[in-house]
Structure 1
Amino acid sequence: MIIKLYHITLLFFLFTTSFLTAQGCVAIRHFSSCVGSSLENNVLNKGDIQLGLNYRYFKSYRHFRGTHEEPDRITNNTEVINFSHSTDFFLTYGISDRVYTSITIPTVFNSRSSLYEHGRNERNTTFSRGLGDVRLGVGWWLLPLETNPKGNIAIGLGVKLPTGNYNASDIFYNVGLNNEPQTRPVDQSIQPGDGGFGFTADFQWYQKLTNGLFSYASGFYLLNPREINGIRTFRETLSPLLENESIMAVPDQYSVRTGLSYSLSPTISSSLGARFDCVPVKDLIGGNEGFRRPGNVLSIDPGIGFNKSNFSLNLNVPFAIRRERPQSITDIQTEIQTGNPRHGDAAFADYVINFAVSYRFSSNKVPVPPEFMNEFKTK
């Protein structure tokens, strides 16, 4: 039982914090989860269940081409403003001492305010809401927990189901032949789903450095083999040069993070790290046609958690320190076709708020030896 306590608290901290999303128009899809756990918490034995929810919020409005910001967009009131609210409901189940499985059910409420999508002379807002893309996964700790109490690594595999609406629509103003409003699909960045059946691979690693202090690293890659989802963007109505961006792509995405976690007390833990979130220019498998906004964000990621018995609260607020919107495949195609430079932009957020709450239902209670508890208490 000593190893089980150590295993599951680190598992829960690393597994759930590894799926924070990137920011703004770089449309990484709702892998938002941020639950911490102190090392003195009780165990998830075989048959234990962890239930919780993770809430994420951001406002994206700062435009970048490459790593260059375009502050005049805000000055001229031409910036695109996205507000994103998402809540992930998750369940994690202990299959055995080393194997775990999970399901995550996301819901979203997004809004997008812009000029260029509404005739360029009048700012209006479009909305999307509903179920996102459900994820299922299973993971395994590679090293025997009984003989590796101070460090371990887990790998996981999963699937992303296309349960979210990827054709969410709203009213766009001043876009018809006579400037009448039309119902169209909302922008890719606020669609609840992406329309692709995806596969995920993830890892979590930790190593004890001294009493109460741990280093960690984690990450995931989402593989989306589907190239395009068939949903029209209407970008070709803005310019004939954007004909190659008329259909939405289904891009891959990935995220990695690393840092330190420190137990401030038996109930309060803290963390400080860095994370890198990315929608790549090219997918690992499948084609790269269709419209995507590739981009990446490097963030400083502080967090704090509260854990009491089977109950946990956690707050992480990653702050962006570097944002990049590289040339997409369609940008490059247009540049070659016209002989003129072409580099699309994207709007990013300054920070993301992630708040989580969870409760564990134990199949049985086993007393934890005092000598093991002292191993992880702050001296």
Structure 2
Amino acid sequence: MSKPQKSLIALLAVVLLFFGFVVVRIGVAKPAATVTLAPIPAGEYDPAVWGKNYPLQYASYKKTAEESPSPTGYGGSIKVQKSEMQPEIKMLFKGMAFGQDYTEDRGHIHALEDLRETKRIGPASKGACITCKTPYLEQMYKEEGWGYANKPLAEMLDKAKQPIGCANCHDPATMNLRVINPAFIEAQARRGIDVTKASREEMRTFVCAQCHAEYYFEPGTTKVVFPWDKGLKPAEMYAYYSDKPSGFAQDWQHPDSKTAMLKAQHPDYELFSTSTHSKAGVSCADCHMPYMRQDGQKYTSHWVTSPLKTLDASCAPCHNQGAAWLQEQVKTIQDQTFELQHMAGQNIAKAHTAIGAVAAQPGVNEAELANARELVRKAQWYWDLLSAESSMGFHNPSQAFNTLGQANELAHQAIETANRAAGIKQF
């Protein structure tokens, strides 16, 4: 072997030794990029116990206790009455509990506390109200089936020791995503969807959809039912309710217009499901529970909050226009949605007043009066789908604008029809 060859071999050996040392050092110093599986005993519902093995996830979950305003002024996690921004709410929900107490939602960690404190419940409240407030739902349903829903809420609250937590969405043995709300599972089955066969990406939306959805209580049993049999769009759900499923005709009767009313419940999944983001394959968790890194370890944030509070992690992976542009886009959509929502709500309130005034007159055309009541019922249902929804229209702007536009038009039609019932000429 020649002298140059020996020198080259020696140099290569030094280089390999050096890089081998660097690789070993990096391997020792850098934490694993993935989370190591640590099974949790079945029936363990305390997030703090899970947090011993998953500290980064648990630390972010505890941030759901924070109370702060929304970056755009809509929503947020401060417990204020919605009627402060929308005074018409008191008229729209006159005669039912939401007219007395309708606050902004706080984080998951407050779920049981807020349920206990709300003025919307009382001694007659049923166990169904606890369905989306605790992982103990799994145990309740195993022991009682749907029977838990018709038991006194106070009894179920005594059994629920933990608010929404890890076990609501994770299998304790495998950490795989799962859903435990039987109402969601049954509703999807009626639509031909077996949630046990859902992909991981689908489950990243389903775990949220099992609670962030519209529902009603079945008369007699108080069973929780999602009204999805005809579809998830506003007109499809309204058509479902028009058939009076299981004898369900109303949530309450408005005392002024004497109209059988429906109350929407946070239909976030329904609005999002037909959106551009959803059709592009984006899940709820992509935006509200983005991937984060700490000390080299990748984990999913469990601070379920506005994506604008984690904008770089939630939005920037797909959008490169910059934080200021992105926040302005969201603010513009929400401003426009609120303007339409506020306008429609005020006109619906006027419709209730007009119908009530006409109904008190002698010789009114009862057929036209019934039509006016149907129009205001539908108008408020459409309005409420956006009012009760959590994103102020951002989950699906085009559908939000369309739905609120229809609500506004239906309110005007209700007033005009009421006037015709009383023989008042239209100009």
- TM-score of the superposed pair, with normalisation by structure 2: 0.26
Per chain length, whose mean CA-contact separation is higher, i.e. which structure has more relative contact order (CA < 8 Å, sep 6+)? Answer: 1
- Give the structure with higher Rg (CA): 2
- TM-score of the superposed pair, with normalisation by structure 1: 0.29
